[in-house]
Chains A and B, each alone.
Chain A
Amino acid sequence: MNGGAIQAEGLTRDYGRFRALDHVNLTIEPGRVVALLGPNGAGKTTLLRLLMGLLEPTEGHSWLLGAASRALPEAVVARIGYMGDAEEPPGWATIQSLVNLQAEASAAFDREQMEQFLEARGLSPGRAYGALSKGQKKWVRAGLILAAGTDVLLMDEPAEGLDPSARQDLYDRLREHASQRDATALVATHVISDIERIADDVALIDRGRLVVHAALEDLREQVRQIELPANEPVPAWPQDVNVLGRKCDEDMQLVWVQCPRGTENELESVLPRQATVRGVGLETFYLALTQHGQPAETSHPPTECLS
């Protein structure tokens, strides 16, 4: 491994015969906030659980802060904040008992910050966790890992159930935490508008496979949609052009590519005359790919259409 704060190599997980995660390679440098984007069932939660070491990978390995996820030493595990989708404290636990629990585990836990976090939503420490609304529960759990002074944050849909103002507030605090501590965060979501608020980078996962991992700015500028006639063979793509996915129907094929700066002319040169190229936003690309498209097999997929 090369020292990324979060790293995965060939990470794969099967549930029986179902492959939930398929050979994911991912390196996230320290200080980056990465939005993990994908539809329901894409493998986001499985990836986060594998990274946290809660599950054994069927194949591959992962590391957090340089330590193997499945054998995190005491000094490392206390620097990781994990907020899963299904992991919940028991309903009888009071907020105060959860704060105490977290404070014992994390030497850097800031009780004052946690108090402010709770006050921001009018939550008193004596309330039972089970009596909170869904959004309040998320708020408390997010507060626990942010106040713990963690260096790596793994969060699964942290803002789900929060009202718009709480949602914005949470993401502001997350950004602030990341910039103040140079913390690394991987935040799973399927809400594209969230990404604008938090992300430096975007990792798009679909059907268990990492389709793209790139800087948000680059994706905004570099994703192109290419329309080709259905009977037109797919061209040999230039080396630097990354094919993200394809969709085929009777009349037309759509191919989405990530075209780095300076390779536009190279791309134009390999396309047939009938092809049309246009830039698309992240949302358009994401919806098209996850609703209809086929994720690319490799960066240079076979010429036959898959669907």
Chain B
Amino acid sequence: MRIRISLLKMMMRQCLPATLIGLPLAVLYVLLTRQPLDWANPWMGLFVLGHSIALAFGLGRYRSPGFAFLYTRGYSRDELWLHKLLVTVLAVLTVWLPLALLIWLPIRSTVQDVLFRSPYSLILMLREVAVPWAWLAGYAILLPSFHYVWVRRAQPLAGGDGAVLLASGTVIVIGTLMLFGWLPHWFWILTWALAVVVSVTNLGAGLLLHRTIEVQ
């Protein structure tokens, strides 16, 4: 399959509102939050959740005139699905990478030191170095679920309640884990294995069901 630049651009534009709103908000939060960030930070958790929903919505409006136009240009359904996934990755990286760089470079530590004389500034980077990976993992688990929801909702006989339940369940499990914090090592291994299985299944099912969505 070839990468179609014009198709990517057209789809990326659907994600622009989510990026334009999300990126400055998240940058400000990361720069100005005084307490050290950890993977269970609820505000960043909510941000990843909201951003994922916005991206899935932007790329899943199969009943809009613009999508109907896109789906009648002569691209195959599989080609459109794979470009949609590629655009999802690019849209996430557009927001995630600047946030990660703020922590890793370490711009956040410098800002904390200069603006707030934060006592944590010297250790912030070392302490938070793994946190961006947790956010990325959040996207990797949530977005396949949400894409699947929109694909199921565009099926000929509609429905899709099962997909909504699955996505809701995923969000609840992640939220619960964030609340309860540290759990035994074996539990995490099991949870990650399950998350990978769910995400891969969602992506595979999305590919198959995307072939039969109704576009109008």
| A residues in contact (CB < 8 Å) with B | 49, 52, 54-56, 70-74, 77-84, 86-90, 92-93, 97, 100-106, 144, 148, 150
Residues from chain A with Cβ under 8 Å of B71 in the complex: 54
CA distance A101 to B79 in the complex (A): 13
A102, B156: Cβ atoms under 8 Å?
A: no
User: For residue B70, which residues in chain A have a CB less than 8 angstroms away from its CB?
Assistant: 89, 101
Chain B positions within 8 Å of A104 at CB level:
4-7
Q: Are B13 and A102 in contact (CB under 8 A)?
A: no
B-side interface size class: 20 to 34
Chain B residues 169 to 194 lying within 8 A of chain A, measured CB to CB, are none
Give Cα A271–Cα B87 distance, bound, in whole angstroms: 68
Residues A88 and B215 in contact in the complex (CB < 8 Å), given A78-B74, A102-B74, A148-B74? no
Q: A54-B215, A55-B214 are in contact. Are A101 and B65 (CB under 8 A)?
A: no
Return 28 A-B CB contacts under 8 Å, by A number. Answer: A54-B71, A54-B72, A54-B214, A56-B156, A72-B76, A73-B76, A74-B78, A77-B76, A79-B74, A80-B74, A83-B72, A86-B216, A87-B65, A87-B69, A88-B66, A88-B69, A89-B66, A90-B13, A90-B69, A92-B13, A97-B9, A100-B5, A100-B6, A101-B7, A102-B74, A103-B6, A104-B4, A105-B4
Contact with A along B76-94 (1 / 0, CB 8 A): 1011000000000000000
Q: Is the CB of A74 within 8 A of B76?
A: yes
Q: Cβ of B216 and Cβ of A90 under 8 Å apart?
A: no
Q: In whole Å, how far is B7's beta carbon from the nearest beta carbon of chain A?
A: 6
Please name the 4 residue pairs, one residue from A and one from B, whose CB atoms are nearest each other, closest first: A56-B156, A105-B74, A87-B68, A82-B72
Query: How long is the Cα–Cα vector from A78 to B2 in the complex, in angstroms?
Result: 14
Q: Which chain A residue lies CB-closest to B74?
A: A105
Instruction: Give, as a whole number of angstroms, the nearest-CB distance from A181 to chain B.
Output: 15
Provide the bound-state CA to CA distance between A83 and B65, in Å: 12
Minimal beta-carbon separation of A196 from chain B (angstroms): 28
**Chain B residues with CB below 8 A from A92, complex form:** 13
Shortest Cβ gap from B95 to chain A (Å): 21
Question: CA–CA, A49 to B214, complex, Å?
Answer: 10
Binary per-residue interface labels of chain B (1-33) against chain A in the complex, 1 for a CB within 8 Å, 0 otherwise = 000111101100100000000000000000000
From B211, which residue of chain A is reached at the shortest CB distance?
A: A71
Known contacts A93-B10, A104-B7, A84 near B212 by CB under 8 Å? no
Q: Which of B65, B68, B74 has most A Cβ within 10 Å?
A: B74
Residues on the A chain within 8 Å of B68, using CB = 54, 84, 86-88
Interface centre among A52, A78, A90, A150 (most CB of B within 10 A): A90
**CB of B216 to closest CB in A, whole Å:** 6
A101 / chain B contacts, CB cutoff of 8 Å = 6-7, 10, 70, 73
CA distance in complex: A102, B71 (Å):
11
Instruction: List, in ascending order, chain A residues with CB within 8 A of B47's CB.
Output: none
Q: How far is the CA of A78 from the CA of B9 in the complex (A)?
A: 20
Given A71-B211, A77-B74, A90-B66, CB of A55 within 8 Å of CB of B6: no
Minimal beta-carbon separation of A102 from chain B (angstroms): 6
CA distance A84 to B216 in the complex (A): 9
Verify if B75 is at the interface (C-beta below 8 Å from A). yes
Contacts of B69 on A, CB cut-off 8 Å? 84, 87-90
- Chain B nearest CB, measured from A186 CB (Å): 14
B90 to chain A, nearest CB (A): 17
**Cα distance, A87 to B72, chains bound together (Å):** 8
Considering the chains assembled together, what is the distance between the CA atoms of A90 and B67 in angstroms?
9
Give the residues in chain B near A72, CB-CB below 8 Å: 76
Q: Once the chains are docked, how many angstroms separate the CA of A102 from the CA of B214?
A: 21
A147 to chain B minimum Cβ distance, whole angstroms, is: 12
Contact between A56 and B72, CB atoms less than 8 A apart: no
How far is A71 from B78 in the complex, measured between Cα atoms in Å? 11
Separation of A148 and B75 alpha carbons in the complex (Å): 12
**Shortest beta-carbon distance, B73 to chain A, in Å?**
5
The reply to whether B156 and A55 form a contact with Cβ atoms under 8 Å apart is yes
Contact in complex: B76, A56 (CB < 8 Å): no
Task: Give the nearest-CB partner of B156 in chain A.
Answer: A56
Which of A49, A77, A87, A150 touches B75 (beta carbons < 8 Å)? A77
CB pair A84–B72 under 8 Å, yes or no, is yes
Q: Select B10's contact among A56, A71, A97, A103, beta carbons within 8 Å.
A: A97
B65 and A88 contact, CB distance less than 8 A: yes
Query: Which residue from chain B places its CB closest to the CB of A89 in the assembled complex?
Result: B69
Contacts of B72 in A (CB 8 A): 52, 54, 82-84, 87
Q: Give Cα A106 to B79, complex, Å.
A: 13
Nearest Cβ in chain B — how far from A208, in angstroms? 17
- Closest residue of chain B to A70 (Cβ to Cβ) is B212
| Additional 5 contacts, C-beta under 8 A, given A83-B72, A104-B4 | A56-B212, A77-B75, A84-B72, A104-B7, A105-B74
